[in-house]
Structure formats: C-alpha cells, structure tokens
Chains A and B, each alone.
Chain A
Amino acid sequence: MPGAAPLPKRKARRSRLSLRFDTPLGRAMLQTVAVMLFFALWEIGVRMGWISAFLVGSPTGIFGFAAKMIASGELLSDAWYTFFEAILGFVIGTIFGSLLGLALWYSVFVARLVEPFIVAINSVPKIALAPIVVLWFGTGLVSKVALSVSLTAIVALIAAYQAAKDADVDLQSLLISMGADKLQVFFKAVVPSTLPSIIATFRINIGFGLVGAVVGEFISSQRGLGHLIYTASSLYDLNTVWVGLFTLMIMGFVLYYVIDIVERTLLPWKQSNTTHQVQV
C-alpha cells in the first residue's frame, strides 16, 4: 500500500515513573514534596539574599506569625468571620439566583423580555459596586454578604436558566403524553435535569463568595481576613499578609471538596467508578 502509515509498535502502557506513583498515596507524596521544595527554595532564597524578605516575606516568618496568631485566637476569629460572610453570601446568592433562573423556564415571554437585562447586569464588574454597597449597607456584615450575593446570584441565575432551557424536550413530551401538567413537567423533568449544572456552579460560586467577602473587607471593616491582609500590607508586614492569603487558600480548598461530597450525595446517578481518558 503506497503511503500507508507504519503500524504503531507495541509499547509499554505507562511510563515507569507514573506507574509507580499513580496511586492516591503516591500522588500525595509527590504533592507534599513539591510544596516543601517550594518553601525550602523560598527560605534559601531569602537567607542567601537573592530575594528581599521585606517584599516577599519568608516561610519561617510566616509560620512563626501563624503560630502566634493561632495561639492568640486572632486568626481563627478573623477566618471564621470571613468564612461566615462568604457562606452566607454564597447560600443566599446561589439559592436566589437558581430559583430565579428556573422560574424563567415557566414563561418564554418573560424570559425573552428580561434576557438583555440579565446580560447587562452580568457585564457590570460587580467589584465596582463595592463602594456603593458599603454606602448602602454600612461597614458591618451585611455589606460583605450583599457583595457576595451580587457576585454569586447572577452566575447561578444564568446557569440555571440555561440548563432549564436545555432540559431534554423528549422527556417533557413523554410526561405530557402521560397527562402531566406544567407543574409536574417542571418538577419531574426540568428541575432534576438542571441539578448537575446548578451544582457545578457551586464550585465557581464558593470562590465568588470569598471574593465578595474579602473585597468588602478591603473597602471598610474592622474584622476578617480581608481586613487583616489590607492593614498588614499597608504596614509592609508581608508575613502577616501571607498568613491571611494561605488561610483563604485553605478555606477555598476545603470548601471545594465539601462541594464534591455534596455533589456525590445529590447526584448518585451521575457517579461512575472509572475515569475515562483517551490514551494517546
């Protein structure tokens, strides 16, 4: 056969390194080593004078401050405050947005009518609202929650509305042929089929909830991790800034996996035991 590609030779399925480490424990080990290496290089860089401790802080300094702040209870109290604002904003915004998005399925007329307004609201960078939100809702908890809600609600709304529009029409027709009314079609076909998309927005929105809380604290507040980071950075206290940032990172990290568990409980029919990846 002229021009035929040569048949591929038989080859080992995986390279040796990934074969040995591609287990949960192996991956965790590699990840830990990477993190430790990163901090070690950072510390060495600072000690050797390659980078300025004044501008980037140093791992030993960060851990020292963190230990002190944990011991005094200051870190926990700030973290808890920010966490509370973010979760409250996330829950209110996501529920409100999702319900509104689902409700738009009910009337095509209303949905078409409000669509440009939703697009317009979505295109405003919500962070730009922060100063007004503080003016309206004060410098306490409410303004941070309001900012989180403004960020999360619109994401949830658009995702829920889109998913409701995409819900399988044949399943709805089947229900109608069985004599179901619109309310039954909504609750038996539309709502369950939008759940995967709605839960997928949880992942995005948990991050946005934190963004709203922290930015709100930047603008004006007396407590919270945003307040901690803002005041420390104005004093060039980089180690404290890093403590705040790492605490936020850990918080987001934990919440991401909490949502993973929520997803697995709510969508048992979506689970598969294997991950399918095409081998190239």
Chain B
Amino acid sequence: MQPAPAQLSVRNVRKSFTGKAGEVRVLDDLSFAIKERDFVSIIGPSGCGKTTIFNIIAGLLDPDSGSLHYRGEEVESLRGRVGYMMQKDLLFPWRTVLGNVLLGLETRGVDRVEAEGRAREYLKGFGLAGFENAYPKTLSGGMRQRVALIRTLIMDPDILLLDEPFSALDYQTRLYLEGVLKDAVETYHKTVILVTHDIDEAVALSKRVVVLSGRPARVKIVHDIEIDAPSPIAARSDARFSGYFHALCAELDIQTEKSA
C-alpha cells in the first residue's frame, strides 16, 4: 500500500507573543503532517500552544516563521476552507438555530433558498427538526454544540479544527456527541484535527494522536491508534484501549500508579 500523501503539512512554525513578562515562545519549530481523511488528536500540557496552532491554520494569526502546505502547495492559511469549532459553541444569540446554521453559507453568498433547504436537511439529519426557529439560549448545551457542529459541516470544509469542542459538556452528552461527530466525519469524508485534554476521548476517536511537549510546543511523539470500532463507546471496550491510554499518560508524565 502506498503511503497516503499529506493533505496539510505544518512546517517549522514558530510563534511567540510579547507579554508583560517579555517574549514568550509558544511554538518552536513545530512540524507535523495530516493525511487525507485523517483523524488526528493533539494532546499536550495546558497552555502549550494548541489553540495557537489552530489560529495559525485558520488564518487568525500569522506565524513568525515557517509555512503551511496544502495538497503540495504552499498557502498562507486555510481561511475559509476550515471548519473551526471551539469549546464555547459561539452561537450568535440573536440568530435562530436556522440562522446560525446559515451563517457560513450567507458569508459565502450561497443562494438563500438553496441554503435554507440544505440547512433544514442537516437539522433533520441531526435530530434538530422543529427547533429551526428557536433561539440558542432556549437550548441545552448538547443541542447548542450540535447546532455548532452542523454550522461547521454545512460549509463543507476541507478540514475540521475542533478545539476541545466537548469539554464544557457533561460526560453523557460528550459520549453521545463523540458518536455524532464520528458518524458525521465518516458520512461526509472529513479530515479532523482535534485538540483535547481528554486522553480517553483522543484514543476513542482518533486514528493518530500527536503528543506535544510543554511550552514551547514541539511534537514529542505520534501514536497510531489501531482500534477499529464502530463507535467511540465501543472503542473504549476494545482490548487495546487501555494500552494506548496508559502509553499516552506516560508520555504526558501523568503518574498512573501511586509512587511509594
């Protein structure tokens, strides 16, 4: 089998911020590659610059040096081609559920009737039919994040950038939405980069896990996860699950056994 070509490669990216305490180097010579239809999780200690990587890929920040390559071509950023989802659902409170889902298509200038038709289809597919005219504040956290996911998917982005999208939700809702995400990614053939604090979630969802070192962030190691489970819940009962889990904990220097 031929190795899959990289869809996105991040090469030698450096970024530092100037704060009150002087210059802080957040990313130092960071490189990694994402394959087509990859599902990569990025884990690492808090504040190691995971969100900064996303902001650079999405075109919200410029790197100090280094480059991004998309399908072999050097690009400035993937602005307009990525679907960015954050921990906060970032639904626009003055827009209804339908209005929120239409946001991206509107900015792209898609015909209103066509866009609405597509939006209603997606809402139905994700079990939100009947909530089109509801305002976000009347919905539960899980429903709001589902709306945010639809808003992301309907844009048909090349790559999904998910920045701890489920960390503000309770465990049951999170498990449920992990399943929704996994199904959606397979249905729509998306490439996903997921930033998470949750090792368990990373193993259950990903094909690969990139472990970053503390600040400045460098790639410490990349683990391939070879669990072929139909759902994230099933993945958690796979025989290899706990092996991966403990290996990743060790990489992050989390004490897994009580020291004497």
Interface SS of chain A: helix
The answer to whether A176 and B155 have CB atoms under 8 Å apart is: no
Q: Mark A162-195, 1 if CB is under 8 A from B, else 0.
A: 0000000011011111111000100011001101
The answer to the question of A267 belonging to the interface, with a C-beta cut-off of 8 Å to chain B, is yes
The number of chain B residues touching the other chain, given as a range, is 20 to 34
The answer to whether B107 and A192 have CB atoms under 8 Å apart is: no
The answer to the question of B166 belonging to the interface, with a C-beta cut-off of 8 Å to chain A, is no
Query: Which one of B81, B94, B107 contacts A175 once the chains associate, using CB atoms below 8 Å?
Result: B107
The answer to whether A177 and B59 have CB atoms under 8 Å apart is: yes
Name the segment of B19-27, B30-38, B85-93, B242-250 touching the other chain.
Answer: B85-93
Chain A residues within 8 Å of B58, by CB: 173, 176-177
Interface SS of chain B: loop
The answer to whether B82 and A188 have CB atoms under 8 Å apart is: no
Least CB distance from A112 to B in Å reads 20
The answer to the question of A269 belonging to the interface, with a C-beta cut-off of 8 Å to chain B, is yes
The answer to the question of B258 belonging to the interface, with a C-beta cut-off of 8 Å to chain A, is no
The answer to the question of B71 belonging to the interface, with a C-beta cut-off of 8 Å to chain A, is no
The answer to whether A269 and B137 have CB atoms under 8 Å apart is: yes
**Interfacial residues of chain B within 51-95, with CB under 8 A of chain A in the complex:** 55, 58-60, 79-82, 84, 86, 88, 90, 92-95
The answer to the question of B226 belonging to the interface, with a C-beta cut-off of 8 Å to chain A, is no
The answer to whether B135 and A188 have CB atoms under 8 Å apart is: no
The answer to whether A178 and B104 have CB atoms under 8 Å apart is: yes
Please report the C-alpha to C-alpha distance between residue A268 and residue B174 in the assembled complex, in whole angstroms.
30
Query: Which one of B84, B93, B94 contacts A174 once the chains associate, using CB atoms below 8 Å?
Result: B84
The answer to whether A192 and B92 have CB atoms under 8 Å apart is: yes
Q: Mark B99-130, 1 if CB is under 8 A from A, else 0.
A: 00001101110000000000000000000000
Chain A residues within 8 Å of B106, by CB: 188
The answer to whether B93 and A269 have CB atoms under 8 Å apart is: yes
Least CB distance from B154 to A in Å reads 11
Chain A residues within 8 Å of B84, by CB: 173-174, 177-178
**Interfacial residues of chain A within 189-206, with CB under 8 A of chain B in the complex:** 189, 192-193, 195
Please report the C-alpha to C-alpha distance between residue A171 and residue B100 in the assembled complex, in whole angstroms.
11
Chain B residues within 8 Å of A178, by CB: 80, 84, 103-104, 107-108, 155
Please report the C-alpha to C-alpha distance between residue A175 and residue B60 in the assembled complex, in whole angstroms.
10
The answer to whether B104 and A170 have CB atoms under 8 Å apart is: no
Q: Among the interface residues A177, A188, A192, A267, which one has the most CB atoms of the partner chain B within 10 A?
A: A177
- Return the chain A residue nearest B54 by Cβ: A177
Please report the C-alpha to C-alpha distance between residue A215 and residue B37 in the assembled complex, in whole angstroms.
71
Chain A residues within 8 Å of B135, by CB: 268-269
Chain B residues within 8 Å of A268, by CB: 135
Please report the C-alpha to C-alpha distance between residue A171 and residue B94 in the assembled complex, in whole angstroms.
12
The answer to whether B107 and A267 have CB atoms under 8 Å apart is: no
Please report the C-alpha to C-alpha distance between residue A269 and residue B139 in the assembled complex, in whole angstroms.
12
A residues engaging B (CB < 8 A)? 170-171, 173-180, 184, 188-189, 192-193, 195, 267-269
Given A175-B103, A188-B103, output 6 extra A-B contacts at Cβ < 8 Å: A176-B59, A177-B60, A177-B84, A177-B161, A178-B107, A189-B92
Q: Could you jot down 18 A-B contacts, CB within 8 Å?
A: A170-B88, A171-B90, A173-B55, A173-B58, A173-B84, A174-B86, A176-B59, A176-B79, A177-B58, A177-B80, A177-B84, A177-B161, A178-B80, A179-B107, A184-B107, A192-B92, A193-B94, A269-B94
Nearest 6 pairs between A and B by C-beta? A179-B80, A177-B58, A177-B84, A180-B107, A269-B135, A178-B104
